Structure 1
Amino acid sequence: MLCTTTTQLIGQTPVMSIAVPNRDATLVLKIEKNNPGGSMKDRMARSMVCAALEDGRLAAGGTIVESSSGNTGIGLALAAL
């Protein structure tokens, strides 16, 4: 998949399968650190922005205000691009 925006990369993280020794089980890992912001919070932030745009709470080109200086803030900044 050729992406043209950062938000298209969010959620396109790899899945890794690991056999569990001495058990009839497999552990499946979703590698969320591969999101553009390095966190699973990128998904949540994109979902919040998309939902706000769809229901009219956020106009295209509008302002997002968030008090986070952590992963949520980074995810919102990426989703706002």
Structure 2
Amino acid sequence: MKDPTRPPAASSPTPASEPLRPLSLDAIVFGSGRRTAVIDGRAYQEGDRHAGLTVQRIHRRSVRLLDNGRARELTLSPAPDVRALQRTQ
């Protein structure tokens, strides 16, 4: 039985109060029958788990995952606008 006059024990912060770690969505390969996302240099497929990450769904431009039980969505940054240089003579 718990003593109601005893102060509550100090507890460690809950996962929801901890800041999210930075993750980089580097690339997505989206083809027939195969979807792969590269997150922080590591390739993942739907359902893969590693270091607290669980990849739930890979879309064409984003990835839905769980990060230590917290839902997150990573989005690919737009590709830079590349223009050809014109040479002057």
TM-score range, shorter chain: under 0.3
Larger Rg: 2
Q: Which has the higher strand share?
A: 2
Q: Which protein has greater RCO, CA pairs closer than 8 Å, 6+ apart?
A: 1
TM-score, normalised relative to structure 2? 0.17
TM-score, normalised relative to structure 1? 0.19
Q: Which has the higher helix share?
A: 1
